[in-house]
Amino acid sequence: MKSLSDTLLKRKTIRKYSAKKVDDDLLNDLLARGCRASTTGNMQVYSIIITRDDAKKRELAPFHFNQKMITEAPVVLTFCADFNRFSKWCLENKAEPGYDNFLSFFTAAIDALLVAQTVCIAAESEGLGICYLGTTTYTADKITESLKLPKGVVPVTTVTLGWPAEDPEQPDRLPLEAIIHKEVYHDYSEQDLKKYYSQKEEREDSRNFIKENNKETLAQVFTDVRYRKSDNVHFSGVLIKVLTDQGFMNQ
Ligand SMILES: Cc1cc2nc3c(=O)[nH]c(=O)nc-3n(C[C@H](O)[C@H](O)[C@H](O)COP(=O)(O)O)c2cc1C
């Protein structure tokens, strides 16, 4: 097992996995460690769906835009915001649940993300590789149907997990000073932005990215190709409908 510091500082996303099985006992152990994460009021308003079955992975693949990790990883975990279980327990115990609102969704989503990230750290500390799939929030309607999620449950993120079959270069990060604000927020001047983003912009992979996409700047690769407004608006609509259908938008 790696030291915690190495686990955190040397980690990188892994998108290629070997055929080696992830043992059930190990997976359960990782999930148990993940579930020690902080959770709002100790309510544990999340659920984790484990997908190991190849047919189910193939069914999920298009909802993740056919990213190959879904079918190639031995384990796929879908982390869900879940007020279903807790609300049912309230009703069984003469208590009236008041969780059919957006705040409660957000609370449960925070819980789900905290448990997801803790499972990821536990997995990475054992030498496993992980990849988050943000596609879960884009196609939450399809994933909700496929995983038979009842009212009160919304998929928040997906993680693919397996033994690494690649050793990619570690991606860059912004310098810490770009992220940290002392006491109050200090807004960014043009000069600050130049300073903080120049390292990223000058990387060879960034330059290639700009060229491949026929763009002038790295920022344009994000705004015009990877995370476009039209997609964001469309998928926001899908997500708001899921939240409505799953009973989180009553107030
Ligand atoms: C919420 C979230 C969604 C992500 N979605 C995807 C995804 O759909 N496909 C993918 O290949 N990587 C995905 N990633 C991984 C990021 O691309 C990756 O973390 C980032 O490029 C930094 O690389 P690193 O994790 O190796 O440091 C996602 C990460 C997060 C946190």
Q: Residue 2: its pLDDT value, please? A: 84
pLDDT of residue 1: 84
Digit-by-digit pLDDT tens for the chain (251 residues) are 889 999 999 999 999 999 999 999 999 999 999 999 999 999 999 999 999 999 999 999 999 999 999 999 999 999 999 999 999 999 999 999 999 999 999 999 999 999 999 999 999 999 999 999 999 999 999 999 999 999 999 999 999 999 999 999 999 999 999 999 999 999 999 999 999 999 999 999 999 999 999 999 999 999 999 999 999 999 999 999 999 999 999 97
Q: Whose CA is nearest to atom 8 of ligand 1?
A: 133
Backbone torsions φ then ψ of 42, nearest 5 degrees: 55, 30
Enumerate residues 6+ apart whose C-beta is below 8 A from 147.
49, 78, 80, 155
Nearest residue to 15 via CA among 221, 147, 169, 204: 169
> Distance from the CA of 133 to the center of ligand 1, in angstroms?
7
Q: Name the residue of 76, 132, 138, 161 whose CB sits within 8 Å of the most ligand 1 atoms, as the mutation to test its pocket.
A: 132
Look at ligand 1, atom 19, and give the residue with the nearest C-alpha: 13
The pLDDT value recorded for residue 55 is: 98
> What is the rounded (10 degree) CA torsion for 233, 235, 240, 242?
170
Helix (H, G, I), strand (E, B) or coil at 86: helix
DSSP assignment of 117-129: HHHHHHHHHTT-E
pLDDT score of 251: 74
| Positive/negative CA dihedral, 126, 127, 133, 134 | positive
Centroid of ligand 1 to alpha carbon of 34 (angstroms): 19
Task: Give yes or no for residue 132 CB within 6 A of ligand 1.
Answer: yes
Which residues face 158 on adjacent strands? Answer: 78, 133
12 pocket-lining for ligand 1 (C-beta < 6 Å): yes
Distance 13 CA to ligand 1 centre (A): 7
Kindly state the greatest CA–CA separation across the chain.
63
Is the pTM value of this prediction over 0.85?
Answer: yes
